[in-house]
Chains A and B, each alone.
Chain A
Amino acid sequence: MFQKLLIANRGEIAVRIIRACRDLGISPVVVYSTADRQALHVQLADEAYFIGEAPAAESYLVGEKIIAAAQQSGAEAIHPGYGFLSEREWFARAVEDAGLTFVGPSPYSIALMGSKTNAREAALKAGAPIVPGTANKLADTAEAWQTAVEVGYPVMLKAAAGGGGKGMRIVRSAEEMKSAFETASAEAQAAFGDPSVYIEKYIERPRHIEIQIVADKHGNTIHLGERECSIQRRHQKVIEECPSPLNDSVLRAKMGEAAVNIAQAAHYYSVGTIEFLVDVQRNFYFLEMNTRLQVEHPVTELVTGIDLVQAQIRIAAGAVLTIKQEDVQMLGHAVECRVYAEDPEKNFLPSPGKITKLRTPSGPGVRDDSGVYEGWEVPLFYDPMISKLATYGATREEAINRMQRALREYYVGGIRTTIPFFQEVLDDADFRSGEIDTGFIARYFERKAALPKAAVSPELSNEEIAAVMVAAYDFARQQPAAATTQAVSKWKAAGRSAAFTNR
């Protein structure tokens, strides 16, 4: 095992890895930028090395500085966390060339699974289903008709040159194809300067379900079941859970086997995640592989009892997996909410700034993986996630109830966070019943917008009375010596007292 490990990251994930290091008896070393001099990860580490200015391009993305810090400290391994350099083949290679261990997969696996086309091919070779269609550019409407019949309606036309919804059209029948093909091409031309489009099977109301993989350097690969990550906003996951509300052991076994096959085809070791889309008939299709630790790893840890960060470090050190597939047990249910410094009332605008007050939740089944503290100024240079709040329960209902309780206990002052948004979503009937897919958040906002505006009641609610009392109390104590109302002029007082005694 390593004596010393350098963490090439910041924020809550750096703190999470520091904790895993301590649990394994490893001395944690961190790096930091100008903006992070007072960050929590620096305070919790044994050693900290300054690597540059606040913009990530001058600090957390500069591989040479990070490797130099590792060599200076005598660390034997580098953990990249997620984001930043975690999926850069050149960095993994540079770490190994420097004689250090990269806590992650091989540069080969990162490169292979990092390319969409190569990953698709690897999945196909491993016998895993992929979204039907071709990446071939369509010549004309005739070819579009023919391909659509082969793939089966409904299909999706997608711009070959881009993404972000531009040049995308759902086509449900042959009659719709001609006009859809023309508008998609025109949009693609306008947006990307290239009119080429291709066809993919359109999956209605897909769920995003992913399988956690753990593989050692000796050819042992297992999966730790699934996570449901369908609650997404702008293609960003915001609530994850384990297991999926589908909780289908047959589907889990099938997806798990496919994921293990894909990982083995990529000669993968370390922890990793295979993402799938699942349609309403419970068919699943390979989407992509994340060759790193995943943000939502705590929900799998809570349900399987396996510490994924520790496992990842042990594997990097060459350990053989001590658990077999049949030893993996999923017990209970876990939910995670990503607490972002964003204002849900202002269309999730970033809300960096000083955390003036902080109360964090605790009690049975609550885990708060945070990277901040009261008094910390959330910098505007990095990702807005300040904490991952996870709860565990015997059932999904208990896990969700506990999440609501924890969110109620959670208070972050000075900046806006997504906590109030989660409180609303967790009350939603569709979420409660597990009827979720990747379109959930969009539909949720449509429903909310369609609600009639509540009329302003002339009566004060109890909440409003409490708010007014607090505001009035604060207002009163700020008045200079309460000269206006409470203090009575000494002349008047003397006069009154005289009048009283003279009576």
Chain B
Amino acid sequence: MKLLLHLNGKALSADFTNAEGQAVLTSESTRHAAYFSEPQPGFFTVILAGKVYTCALEKLPNGATEVMVNGQRIPVTIQDPKRLSHNAAAAGQAGGRAVLTSPMPGKIVRVLCAAGDEVTEGQGLVVIEAMKMQNEVQAPKAGKVVELKVTAGQTVNAGEILAVVE
């Protein structure tokens, strides 16, 4: 099937087929053939020109895909070109609006700003604690805190929206 790919700062279109363990990836008119198998769910063995690549597939909570290849972590984004139009619209970020999300699951120990505050870039807005460590989440840009979604004492998941700065 035809795919649009993003990985390690590269964007490319490619065609992928897999028939009975023979995988073929054609990209930019170069053809890569490999023996391909999934010996255990989520673990893959890819043999490219005799070289063995042990891969583990990782689905992140935010829907992103990462593949660990011989200990090297490679995030891969895949799109079906036929569905690109609405995907692209969804991926687009409203300019000038920065959404602050929690980098980890944890407990909000302090909220250092209030909705409506003018903040500077790098200013600490929220302090989250997990595993005995406190981490300050900072404003990604200067602007006004238009939304503040959390209060002290509350627990949050990774990726949960904390505040919006505009």
Binding site for B on A (CB under 8 A): 341, 343, 345-346, 349-353, 356-357, 359, 380-384, 407-408, 411, 413-414, 419-420, 423, 456, 458, 460, 462-476, 479, 482, 484-486
25 A-B contacts (beta carbon < 8 Å)? A350-B131, A350-B133, A356-B42, A357-B42, A359-B43, A380-B105, A381-B131, A382-B131, A383-B132, A384-B133, A414-B58, A419-B71, A420-B73, A456-B10, A460-B10, A460-B30, A465-B25, A466-B44, A466-B46, A466-B55, A467-B55, A468-B14, A470-B46, A472-B3, A472-B5
- Does B25 lie within 8 Å of A413, measured CB to CB? no
Say yes or no: A349-B104 contact (C-beta < 8 A), given A467-B7, A468-B14. yes
Does B80 contact A484, Cβ atoms closer than 8 Å?
yes
Asked if B9 is an interface residue, CB under 8 A from chain A, the answer is: yes
With a 10 A CB-CB cut-off, give which of B10, B23, B70, B131 has the most chain A CB atoms: B131
Enumerate chain B residues within 8 angstroms of A408, measured Cβ to Cβ: 70-71
Say if the beta carbon of B76 comes within 8 Å of chain A.
Answer: yes
Which among A356, A456, A458, A464 has the highest number of chain B CB atoms within 10 Å?
Answer: A464
A341 x B131 contact (CB < 8 A): yes
Interface residues of chain B: helix, strand, loop or mixed (majority)? strand
Q: Which stretch from B61-69, B84-92, B118-126 is at the chain A interface?
A: B61-69
User: Which of B18, B49, B65 has a CB less than 8 Å from the CB of A471?
Assistant: B65
A456-B9, A469-B36 known; A349+B42 contact, CB < 8 A: no
Query: How close is B66's CB to chain A, nearest CB, in angstroms?
Result: 8
| B78 nearest CB neighbor, chain A only | A475
CB-nearest residue of chain B relative to A465?
B32
Task: Give the bracket for the number of chain B residues in contact with chain A.
Answer: 35 or more
Shortest distance from the beta carbon of B36 to any chain A beta carbon, whole Å? 6
> Does B48 touch A at the CB level, under 8 Å?
yes
Inter-chain CA distance A473–B18, complex, in Å, is 8
CB distance A462 to B53 under 8 Å? yes
For B16, the closest partner residue in chain A by CB is A472
Rank and list the top 9 A-B pairs by shortest CB-CB distance, nearest first: A467-B67, A466-B53, A472-B16, A471-B76, A350-B131, A467-B74, A466-B46, A485-B1, A350-B130
Could you say which residues of chain A place their CB within 8 Å of the CB of B103?
346, 349
From A353, A470, A476, B105 is in contact (CB under 8 Å) with A353
For A349, what are the chain B residues with a Cβ–Cβ distance below 8 Å? Answer: 103-104, 133, 135
Q: Assuming A352-B105, A469-B44, what are 20 further A-B pairs, CB within 8 angstroms?
A: A345-B73, A352-B104, A352-B106, A380-B107, A382-B131, A382-B132, A411-B68, A413-B42, A456-B9, A464-B7, A465-B25, A466-B53, A466-B69, A468-B25, A469-B16, A470-B55, A472-B1, A472-B78, A473-B36, A476-B16
Query: In the complex, what residues of B have CB within 8 A of residue A460's CB?
Result: 10, 12, 27, 30, 32
List B residues at the A interface (Cβ < 8 Å): 1-3, 5, 7-10, 12, 14, 16, 18, 23, 25, 27, 30, 32, 34, 36, 38, 42-44, 46, 48-49, 51, 53, 55-58, 65, 67-74, 76, 78, 80, 82, 103-107, 130-133, 135, 158
A341, A350, A456: which has the most chain B beta carbons within 10 Å?
A: A350
Of chain A, the residue at the smallest CB distance from B51 is: A462
How many A-B pairs fall under 8 Å by CB?
155
A343 to B71, CA, bound (A): 14
Question: Do the beta carbons of A463 and B42 come within 8 Å of each other?
Answer: no
Verify B1–A484 contact, CB threshold 8 A.
yes
Complex partner residue of A472 from B14, B53, B104, CB under 8 angstroms:
B14
Chain B residues with Cβ under 8 A from A482's Cβ? 1
Q: Which of A384, A423, A474 has the most CB of B within 10 A?
A: A474
Q: Contact between A350 and B25 (Cβ–Cβ < 8 Å)?
A: no
For B49, the chain A residues whose CB sits under 8 A away are: 462
Decide if A469 touches B43 in the complex (CB within 8 Å).
Answer: no
Complex formed: what's the CA distance from A359 to B42 in Å?
12
> Which single member of A384, A456, A474 contacts B65 (CB below 8 Å)?
A474
Question: Is there an interface contact between B76 and A468, defined as CB atoms closer than 8 Å?
Answer: yes
Q: How far is the CB of B11 from chain A (nearest CB, A)?
A: 11
- Contact A473 B71, beta carbon cutoff 8 Å: no
Bound complex: CA A10 to CA B128 (Å): 24
Across-interface contacts of A458 in B (CB, < 8 A): 10
Q: Tell me the bound Cα distance from A359 to B44 in angstroms.
A: 13
B32 CB to nearest A CB, Å: 5
* Structural contact, A469 and B46, CB atoms closer than 8 A: yes
Tell me how far the C-beta of A379 lies from the nearest C-beta in chain B, rounded to whole angstroms. 9
How many angstroms from the CA of A458 to the CA of B61 in the assembled complex? 30
A463 CA to B70 CA, complexed, in Å: 8
B55–A462 CB distance below 8 A: no
